[in-house]
Amino acid sequence: MPLVNADRVRTVSEVNHEARMLVEERFRLVWVEGEISNFRRYASGHWYFSLKDDRAQLNCVMFASRNRFVRSRVQDGQAVVVRGRLSIYTERGTFQAVVDHLEPAGEGALQAAYDELKGRLGREGLFDPARKLPIPAYPRHVAVISSESAAALKDVLAVLGRRFPCVRVTCFFVAVQGYEAEGQILGAFDRAERMRSRPDVIIVTRGGGSLEDLAAFNRESVARRIAAARIPVIAAIGHETDVTIADFAADRRAPTPSAAAELATPDGAELLHRVGRYAAAIANLGNTRLRTDRRLLDAVRNRLVHPGRALEQRMQRADEMADRLNRAARALLDRAQRTLDQRRGLIVALSPQQRIDGARDQVERTGARLRAADKSGRATAGARLGGLARALQAVSPLATLDRGYAIVAKPDGSRWGTPVVSAQQAVAGEELVAHLKEGRLRVQVTEANP
C-alpha cells in the first residue's frame, strides 16, 4: 500500500509560492541591522547583497526604483539598517528581504542629534539673519575651504576663473569627513583670519553624502566658528537636498558649489559691458561739453575788438577832446578880451585920471585872473590829455612792438593795412607787411598751415 496521498502532493512551485505568501503575510514590514557582504550592482540598476551578523546572514534585493534614493555610498563591510518585507524567491526557493530603504547604521541617532543641535542653536539666535555679514559685491580675495581631491573644489575654481578671473583665490585643504575633519576645518578658519591680506569672503564646500559623511559640518564647534567668523562665509555642503548646521550658521547658503562661486563674485562679462556703457556715456558727455565750449569761444571771439581798431577809436576820441579843449580856451580868452575892451572904453569915456588909474588896476587884476584861469585850464586839459595818452599807450600795439613783436598785415592803402590774425587769411605766395618798432618789412608767404 503506497504511503503517498496523491491529494496531498504539491509541486515545488506550489510549496515555494505558499511559503512566500505565508512569509509576506507575516513579515510585511521589518527593520534589520547588519553588515553588507557580497554586494553586487547589476546592469539593470538592481542591488543584490547579504546582511550578516556574527551568527547568520540574510539575502537581500533592492530594486533600482528604490535604491536611487539612497544618498550614501554602499559597499561591502558597511553597517546599515534596512527596511523592507520578507519574501521567498520562488524560482530558487531562496528566503530574502526585499528592501525599500537603506541607511548607515546609527543614522537615526545622528538625525536626532542634528535636530537637537539645530533647535538649540536656533533658539540662541545663532541663525538670526540680522547677525549675518553681507557678501561684498567686488571681492579681491576669496578663500576656499575644501578637500584637495573634491569635485566640489574643482567646480568652485572653474566658476571663479570664468566669472571673475582677476580675483585672488587661496585654498585651504582639509579633511571633510572622518575623525580629523572637525579640527582641520576649525584650523582653516583661523589661518584665513590670520592672513596678512585677509580674504573678503570664505567658501566652505564639499560634495554630497550621508548624514554620517556630513557629520563634521553638523558639529557645534564648526557651526559656532562659522557664526563667529569676521569674514563673510558662504556654505555649499553636499547636494541641493543636503542641509547641514554649517549651512544655517553661514552668512549665505548655496545649493551647489558652483552656485557658491557665483554668489561670491560678480559676472566679469557683465562688468565689462557696464564699463563700456559708462565709457561711451562719458565720451558723449565730453564731446557735448567740447562743442558747447567751442560755441562759447566763437561767440567771445566775435565780440572781441582788434587792438588796432580800439587804438584808432581812442586816437580819434583824443583828437576830439583836444579840439574841444582848444575851443574852450579860445572862448575863455575871447570873453576876457571883450571884458577888457569894454572896461577900456569905459575908462576913456570917464576921463578923470583917478578913474583911469582905478580902471587900470582893475584891468590888471582881471588880466591876472584870466591868465591864471587860462594857465589852470591848460594844466587841467594837459593832465587829462596825458592820462588819455597813457591809456592809449597801454593798449597800443606800438607797445607790443617795443617788446620785439611785429604786426603782420595785408596792404590795403592805409597806414597799417588789414591785420592778419589767422593762417587762413593768407595764401602761399602772397606779400604781407610786418610792422616793427622801427620801420616795416615786406614779407612773402611760403607756406600757410591753417
Asked if pLDDT for residue 141 goes beyond 90, the answer is yes
Grid cell locating 286: 565730453
Q: What is the pLDDT of residue 4?
A: 58
| pLDDT tens column, 235-292 | 999 877 778 999 999 999 999 999 999 999 888 677 776 677 777 778 788 778 888 8
Q: Compute the distance between CA of residue 27 and CA of residue 100 in angstroms, rounded to an integer.
A: 14
Helix residue spans in 242-352 (DSSP H)? 245-249, 257-264, 268-303, 307-350
Mean pLDDT lowest among 247-251, 400-404, 428-432: 400-404
Q: What is the pLDDT of residue 8?
A: 72
Q: Are 260 and 156 in contact (CB under 8 A)?
A: yes
Q: What is the mean pLDDT of residues 299-303?
A: 71
| pLDDT tens column, 77-113 | 888 888 999 999 988 888 999 999 888 776 666 677 7
Asked if pLDDT for residue 316 goes beyond 60, the answer is yes
Mean pLDDT, the chain, integer: 84
Query: pTM for the complete prediction?
Result: 0.45
Asked if pLDDT for residue 395 goes beyond 70, the answer is no
Q: Are 174 and 185 in contact (CB under 8 A)?
A: yes
428 band by pLDDT with thresholds 50, 70 and 90: confident
396 band by pLDDT with thresholds 50, 70 and 90: low
Q: What is the pLDDT of residue 433?
A: 85
Residue whose C-alpha is closest to residue 265's, from 116, 154, 165: 165
Within 10 Å of residue 192's Cβ, how many Cβ atoms? Answer: 22
Grid cell locating 177: 569627513
Q: What is the pLDDT of residue 198?
A: 93
Going from the C-alpha of 407 to that of each of 275, 391, 418, the distances in angstroms are: 51, 20, 10
| pLDDT tens column, 192-248 | 999 999 999 999 999 887 777 888 899 899 999 999 999 999 999 987 777 899 999
State which H helix or E strand residue 189 sits in: helix 181-194
7 band by pLDDT with thresholds 50, 70 and 90: low
Q: What is the pLDDT of residue 348?
A: 57
Going from the C-alpha of 98 to that of each of 27, 40, 62, 88, 120, the distances in angstroms are: 11, 15, 6, 9, 39
Q: Compute the distance between CA of residue 241 and CA of residue 205 in angstroms, rounded to an integer.
A: 14
Which residues, 6 or more positions from 240, have their beta carbon under 8 angstroms from its beta carbon?
A: 255, 256
Sheet holding 233-237, edge to edge: 168-173, 141-146, 201-206, 233-237, 252-253
Within 10 Å of residue 380's Cβ, how many Cβ atoms? Answer: 11
350 band by pLDDT with thresholds 50, 70 and 90: low
Q: What is the pLDDT of residue 409?
A: 85
404 band by pLDDT with thresholds 50, 70 and 90: confident
Q: Are 252 and 232 in contact (CB under 8 A)?
A: yes
Asked if pLDDT for residue 51 goes beyond 70, the answer is yes
| pLDDT tens column, 156-182 | 999 999 998 899 999 999 999 887 889
Share of the chain above pLDDT 70, in %: 88
Q: What is the pLDDT of residue 353?
A: 67
Q: What is the pLDDT of residue 247?
A: 93
Grid cell locating 323: 579840439
Q: What is the pLDDT of residue 6?
A: 57
422 band by pLDDT with thresholds 50, 70 and 90: confident
Q: Compute the distance between CA of residue 431 and CA of residue 411 in angstroms, rounded to an integer.
A: 8
Q: Given CA atoms 61, 65, 70, 74 in this order, what sign does their dihedral have? A: positive
